[in-house]
Amino acid sequence: MRIDILTVLPEMFEGPLNCSIIKRATDKNLAQIIVHNIRDYSLDKHKKVDDYAFWEWGAGMVLTIGPIERAIDSLKLQRRYDAIIYTSPDGVRLSQPLCNQLSLLGNIIVLCGHYKGIDQRVRDNLITHEISIGDYVLTGGELAAAVIADSVVRLLPGVLSDETSALTDSFQDGLLAPPVYTRPAE
């Protein structure tokens, strides 16, 4: 599986993608996770990727369509993508069944929202899935993208040392796991 993450804050992924299960998966070549800076696709000499929203209410900046479209087009020239996901507060709630479905895909792009979001034309024309990790506000979609990557990669065959472990995780059967204890039994 390959996951390409598009973000304006690539440094936010240095920790989550370089330790624990995700690191083992990438070290074993079971998953490839590449973080791309959307600013690299800006044509502006200052690498600007945002602009004021075209509305009369509210404040805040919006990621513009140009750099995002160029980033996605550039990636699509290299391979076919099964899903282009936008981390959105009003998307479908991330769940274990959805993670199971995503783990069966080969190539995924995850676009991290930031500021007040992204230009609606990106959502209308380039995005195949919108996923939310909950009903609360984050600074951007980077943490949501890390959650998606972690919850999907751990399901890939060979990633966990005991392949049955993922099958017995909480929510795999729609229920929480029972309490667990260490030794000794008493």
pLDDT in tens, 27-55: 999 999 999 999 999 999 999 999 888 76
**pTM (2 decimals)?**
0.90
pLDDT value at residue 56: 61
Cα distance between residue 69 and residue 37, in whole Å: 13
pLDDT value at residue 70: 98
Q: Examine the pLDDT at 75 and tell me if it is beyond 80.
A: yes
Q: Which two tokens stand for residue 62?
A: 């919006």
Residues 92-110 have a mean pLDDT of 97
DSSP assignment of 132-151: ES-SS--SBSHHHHHHHHHH
User: The dihedral of CA 4, 108, 69, 116: what is its sign?
Assistant: negative
- What percent of the chain is modeled with pLDDT above 90? 72
Average pLDDT, the chain: 90
Cα distance between residue 36 and residue 8, in whole Å: 8
Instruction: Give the start-to-end residue ranges of the domains of the chain.
Output: 2-167
Mode of pairing for the β-strands spanning 32-37 and 2-7: parallel
pLDDT value at residue 28: 95
Residues 154-168 have a mean pLDDT of 77
CATH 3.30.420.40 assigned to 2-167: no
Place of tokens 């972690």: 150
